[in-house]
Structure 1
Amino acid sequence: MASTELYSPVLSDALVILGSAGLVIPIFNRFRITPVIGFILVGLLVGPYGLGRLVFDYPWLAHITITDPDGLDVFAEFGIILLLFSIGLELSFDRLWQMRRLVFGLGSLELVVLGASLTFILAAIGQPLVGAMALGLALALSSTALVLKITNTNTPVGKAALAMLLFEDIAIVPIIFLLGALAPHAAEEGVGSFLQTLLYGLAVVLALLVFGRFALPRLFAQAARTKSPELFLAASLLVVIVAALATAAVGLSPIVGALIAGLLIAETEYHGEVENITEPFKGLALGVFLITIGMSIDLQVVWQNLTPILTAVVGVLLLKAAVTGLLLRLMGARRGTATETGILMSSPSETTLIVLTAAASAQLIQPGTAQFWQIVTAIGLTITPILSLVGRRLARRVDNVENLPDPEEEAGKRRAIIIGCGRVGQLVADMMVRHNQPYVAIDSDADLVTDGLRRGYTVAFGDAAHGNALDRLGIDNATAVILTMDEPIAAQRVVKKLRAQHPDLPIIARARDATHAAELYRVGASHAVPETLESSLQLSEAVLVDLGVAMGPVIASIHEMRDELRDQIMKEGELKAKPKLKSAALAERTG
């Protein structure tokens, strides 16, 4: 009796999920494959259409299968909420304002053109017009969870994808209302209800912005003073959940609230700690989401309708890739960026499943039609990581960088690695050559790589912030790493990752200002060079020399001032790190 009471389906499902994470992540990382595919395959295996079919014949399988698939939905949604929250942390209101042309220009154009194209094709093959429009809008959406997990939002491809995905996430609410208004049983007050939701949503967003500006710095300051990592984590999750619930309560998507919460915290000095402390929760919750995607694929139905399903998958992928790529080219993107972004954005989205359900509930499409396109969507989501690899390789070929020097050829050679081959990176490379110091530069922008090769620099194509690009360049044998990238948050991430893996490696980083330099010192930079201070010192040098002061004393005083400023900035970085270090020590004592 006691053993029966100890068994719990909830604990069994938790065991399956945690065990899957413990197996999938290290195995797929070992073979340098994204865990995204692994989690989807696990969902396919342990879901109701996999081993779950055999539970009645073999009851012991209940311990290694998901017994309550619907119970995972809340965790899957939480994973998407945390993903949008982390994207908000990487952004800022200034950067979002700079992206307004892409978000509301490219994003709206992409959704309208794709939706219209898919509607026309589906209507031409026999789908009723209203149902074709519902399906067209659903299939035009792309996966926020997978695309932003795969790409780097600081690259041209990532910026374009982020802009389109942000608009799609905003547009999901009007799409759902539109489908409800088109339903055969829709009432006259449908438009009024939509306008009311829009008004309430705007009021909630403004309230979050105003309240967050004043309340969040004080909230996190109080949490930091307690030096309790548990309280800091609780405060972070509280902000995310409250913001998500606030927007959901008035009919908007909860991910809108999560994004706003991230943007607000990004404006505070605590954004780095919040990002670090919520990262494990985001990864696990996203893993649950991917498992639910795998569980939705019924292999028997796929086999029975293999030809039409494969035709639909290929057709949707080709059309979306072509339209998205063409729109990017018309807006001035280079061919490689347009090619890679188009292919990356070609698969349907997790929100496609939501729109399909809404369309079926509104009787705009038949249940069988909804199931067919749900399977198409699940397959498209499963192969998104493969599409990413294909898009990246085609982009290199289109940009004529396929024959770049192999970065592994001299990976065993001791040399410095310069991250970024723009103006600053090329100047650093020139100085390395002048003093006979071997180096290799790396950049994720194919235009900069091509330009660097044309100018005679040793440069390889790759993304230093993601994947194993630095390993292929021989980071274990590097004499130093010089970061010249003009992306503050990405630079901090790279420095932190490098310092954790290589404690003795000299890391010299470019900083925007003294505050950014202090953050870089805090996460492990050996030297951080603020652009604003260096320009001020050079300006002072020029003025003093023109005023007749001897060059020798001027240079000596400049060096002395530089050392003083560097010591001051390093102390600021250490002071910012102290609460974190004390929190870690406290956690260790209480653990």
Structure 2
Amino acid sequence: MESVVLQGIAFLLAAVLAPTLFKRLGFGTAVGYLFAGVLIGPSGLRIFDDAESVMDVAQLGVVLLLFVIGLDTRLSRLVAMRRDILLLGNGQVWITAVVLAAIAYAFGLNVSAAIVVGFAFALSGTAIALQLLDERGDMSRPYGQRGFAVLLTQDLLTVPMLALIPIFLIGTGAASRTGSAIGDTALALAVIGGIVLVGRYLIDYLFRILATAGAREVMTSAALLVVVSAALAASYAGLSMALGAFLAGVMLAGSSYRHQLQADVEPFRGLLLALFFMSIGMLIDVIEVWLHAGLIGLMLVTYLLLKISLAALLARFAGSTWADALRFGLLLSAAGEFSFVLVPLIAGQNLIDAQTTNMLIAIAALSMVVTPPLAVFGERLLKRLTRPEKAPEEDFSAVNGSALIVGFGRFGQIASQLLLAEGIDATLIDAKPERIRAAARFGFKVYYGQGTNLDMLRAAGAEQARLILVCVDDPDESLAICRMIRGAFPNVKLHARAYDRAHAIALTNAGVDYQIRETFESAIVAGRTMLETLGVPSERARQTERDVRHRDLERLELQRLQGIDAGSDFLHQNALQPEPLKQPDHEAQSLNAEADEILHQESQQGTAS
């Protein structure tokens, strides 16, 4: 009992300290977990002696990770990724597998063992790659989406590969469930269909029944039951457990209980994923690595260079930029978790000796260790090598607009539509080349220019313009532009977008003729609509809106004159409020009672349904 408690404390201590330290060093949390595994594993303090048994439990971390990703992945997204899945994913796996198998054969492995080793090391570490994307927030970027599509393809390809393994390893019976490759494939397809049907038609109904119990632990238990059941069903059919969990998540992506499910499994996912990374670290035999450091290092560098190069070239061929292609290659450089299953399998058939087995496992584990820092280094290198995009040179000779809009973001785009609808010529200026190109695709002529450049503003017709609207994103830059315009062109009408109350006051003090807070109007309209929905008569709601607007203007002017910090407005709002809304008490009571009655009726209807 004491040993179990000691192991638990060691795991939790490592899970707290290691990721924090390595995150600060810039290597990411995954590397911290891997080194923590080396420290507390058989090659370190020996707190954990059996790394393989730890990994059996830790695999659930990857399972839960794929389930959570599945919850955020709708079928429409999978359809959109079909090109990357069919072409890029298959190309990466099979081309890499052939190259690695040829190298393994050249080093003395027989054909069967070389093919299995080539396929095993062609796959990538799902947990490592997804952790990198999650930490960077790059899952939605083009290279992140393609990387995810390839990882999903790799999980799908384990189905035919597991069915074909008995052919390569004759007499082992490994991975066969029905005794034939056709039977194994049929069983796998049947299980996939079962997971899809149950997830689509039964699980949501089950959670609806369980939710009536009102017990949080019941929902948590049910969520874990769904994930583990789908994973075990997939495993029984010879599929990846992670693939089964992912399919279950996809089927529940449209469920009303999706967010509750994600919240329930998230704590377990985090801890078990940490345990998985630690178990990888425990598999590294430090003594074996030390004794054959030169050979293992050479093989590791060769493996990473080949895998990164092939993946990057394929991504570039598929249309990625060179920068994204390199990110894609680095993302997929680590060996996959599948290698820790297949290498011992062929070793058990005496197709490779113990020393080769240890070296292959060490290379697979070390590739997972070095991939996160390698990705960090690659990102820093790309930032140094990538030159800033050269700004286009604009010709303002044809400009004759009576209005000038500085900043063509979301705010400027909407404001300009009203001018264009009335046929008013407006000169549009923005400092982001990618935004200018995007606007051109929709027929907008946007000129490149920095709003803080007075010569550029003159060239754009600021002296002849009747009105200038400043709506850049940065409040400090916006204020600087407005001050410069007011000083250089004192007669022009100057309007500006304000970020908040403090910015609005600063703009007013800078001489802006009109300013509007970017969220004020939408919030006012939302509040009025809420009143009307709650039963307040429309005219009364509009009167309340006018009163709130008037009160806000008075409060804003009072703050400006007294120099009060607008950021603390919420704390002293009532103190600055000129007067309450003028409304007889009996009318207020009547309106409140009417609104309460409507809410009560809607609540009763919701309960009955």
| Alignment match of 2:410 (pick from 406, 420, 427) | 427
| Alignment match of 2:90 (pick from 102, 108, 133) | 108
Cα pair distance change 1:250/1:431, threshold 3 Å = closer
| Alignment match of 1:163 (pick from 138, 149, 152) | 149
AA aligned to 1:357 is P
Tell me the residue number matched to 1:20: 14
User: Please, what is the CA RMSD of the aligned residues?
Assistant: 4.2
> 1:97 offset after TM fit, Å?
1.3
Cα pair distance change 1:126/1:401, threshold 3 Å = farther
How many aligned positions are there? Answer: 435
**Structure 1 stretches lacking a partner, 5+ long:** 1-6, 53-64, 405-423, 459-473, 480-503, 507-525, 535-555, 561-573, 579-591
Q: Secondary structure at the match of 2:351?
A: coil
| Alignment match of 1:202 (pick from 189, 196, 201) | 189
Encode CA deviations 1:538-581: one digit per residue, 9 max, x unaligned: xxxxxxxxxxxxxxxxxx9xx99xxxxxxxxxxxxx9xxx9xxx
| Alignment match of 1:220 (pick from 203, 207, 213) | 207
Counterparts of 1:236 and 1:187 in 2: how far apart (Å)?
34
Tell me the residue number matched to 2:229: 242
Counterparts of 2:132 and 2:203 in 1: how far apart (Å)?
30
Counterparts of 2:380 and 2:152 in 1: how far apart (Å)?
26
**In the alignment, structure 1 residue 144 sits paired with structure 2 residue 138:** no
Q: Which has the larger radius of gyration?
A: 2
Encode CA deviations 1:139-185: one digit per residue, 9 max, x unaligned: 11110011011113211111111111111112223323433321243
Cα pair distance change 1:12/1:123, threshold 3 Å = same
Counterparts of 1:230 and 1:188 in 2: how far apart (Å)?
39
Tell me the residue number matched to 1:306: 293
Cα pair distance change 1:401/1:195, threshold 3 Å = farther
| Alignment match of 2:307 (pick from 304, 315, 320) | 320
> 1:361 offset after TM fit, Å?
2.5
**In the alignment, structure 1 residue 178 sits paired with structure 2 residue 164:** yes
| Alignment match of 2:380 (pick from 378, 393, 415) | 393
In 2, are the aligned partners of 1:108 and 1:167 still within 8 Å (CA)?
A: yes
AA aligned to 1:17 is F
| Alignment match of 2:57 (pick from 57, 75, 83) | 75
AA aligned to 2:333 is S
AA aligned to 1:167 is T
Counterparts of 2:431 and 2:261 in 1: how far apart (Å)?
34
In 2, are the aligned partners of 1:9 and 1:67 still within 8 Å (CA)?
A: no
Counterparts of 1:315 and 1:83 in 2: how far apart (Å)?
30
> 1:18 offset after TM fit, Å?
1.4
Cα pair distance change 1:476/1:373, threshold 3 Å = farther
AA aligned to 1:427 is R
In 2, are the aligned partners of 1:341 and 1:391 still within 8 Å (CA)?
A: no
Correspondence list, 1:417-456, <5 A: 426-428=409-411, 455=448
Encode CA deviations 1:441-478: one digit per residue, 9 max, x unaligned: 999x9x99xx9x994589xxxxxxxxxxxxxxx99999
Counterparts of 1:12 and 1:39 in 2: how far apart (Å)?
18
Tell me the residue number matched to 2:38: 44
Encode CA deviations 1:364-383: one digit per residue, 9 max, x unaligned: 33332121111011111011
| Alignment match of 1:356 (pick from 322, 339, 343) | 343
Correspondence list, 1:376-391, <5 A: 376-391=363-378
> 1:11 offset after TM fit, Å?
2.3
Counterparts of 1:278 and 1:234 in 2: how far apart (Å)?
9
In 2, are the aligned partners of 1:179 and 1:362 still within 8 Å (CA)?
A: no
Q: Secondary structure at the match of 1:266?
A: coil
In 1, are the aligned partners of 2:41 and 2:281 still within 8 Å (CA)?
A: yes
Of stretches 106-115 and 171-180 in structure 1, the one that deviates more from structure 2 is: 171-180
> 1:44 offset after TM fit, Å?
0.6
Tell me the residue number matched to 2:269: 282
Counterparts of 1:527 and 1:283 in 2: how far apart (Å)?
40
Counterparts of 1:137 and 1:198 in 2: how far apart (Å)?
18
Cα pair distance change 1:22/1:442, threshold 3 Å = farther
In 1, are the aligned partners of 2:163 and 2:184 still within 8 Å (CA)?
A: no
> 1:243 offset after TM fit, Å?
0.9
Cα pair distance change 1:33/1:189, threshold 3 Å = closer
Correspondence list, 1:514-529, <5 A: none
AA aligned to 2:184 is T
Cα pair distance change 1:237/1:300, threshold 3 Å = same
In 1, are the aligned partners of 2:124 and 2:332 still within 8 Å (CA)?
A: yes
> 1:66 offset after TM fit, Å?
1.8
Encode CA deviations 1:469-490: one digit per residue, 9 max, x unaligned: xxxxx999999xxxxxxxxxxx
Cα pair distance change 1:227/1:313, threshold 3 Å = same
Q: Secondary structure at the match of 1:383?
A: helix
**In the alignment, structure 1 residue 341 sits paired with structure 2 residue 328:** yes
**In the alignment, structure 1 residue 130 sits paired with structure 2 residue 100:** no
Correspondence list, 1:497-508, <5 A: none
- TM-score by length of structure 1 reads 0.65
Percent identical among aligned pairs is 29
- TM-score by length of structure 2 reads 0.63
In 2, are the aligned partners of 1:28 and 1:34 still within 8 Å (CA)?
A: yes
Cα pair distance change 1:177/1:200, threshold 3 Å = closer
Counterparts of 1:347 and 1:374 in 2: how far apart (Å)?
12
In 1, are the aligned partners of 2:58 and 2:273 still within 8 Å (CA)?
A: yes
> 1:333 offset after TM fit, Å?
1.5
**Structure 2 stretches lacking a partner, 5+ long:** 392-406, 420-429, 452-472, 479-500, 504-518, 527-541, 547-598, 604-609
Q: Secondary structure at the match of 1:294?
A: helix
Encode CA deviations 1:483-521: one digit per residue, 9 max, x unaligned: xxxxxxxxxxxxxxxxxxxxx999xxxxxxxxxxxxxxx
Counterparts of 1:297 and 1:250 in 2: how far apart (Å)?
30
Counterparts of 1:179 and 1:158 in 2: how far apart (Å)?
31
AA aligned to 1:176 is L
Q: Secondary structure at the match of 1:257?
A: helix
Q: Secondary structure at the match of 1:127?
A: coil
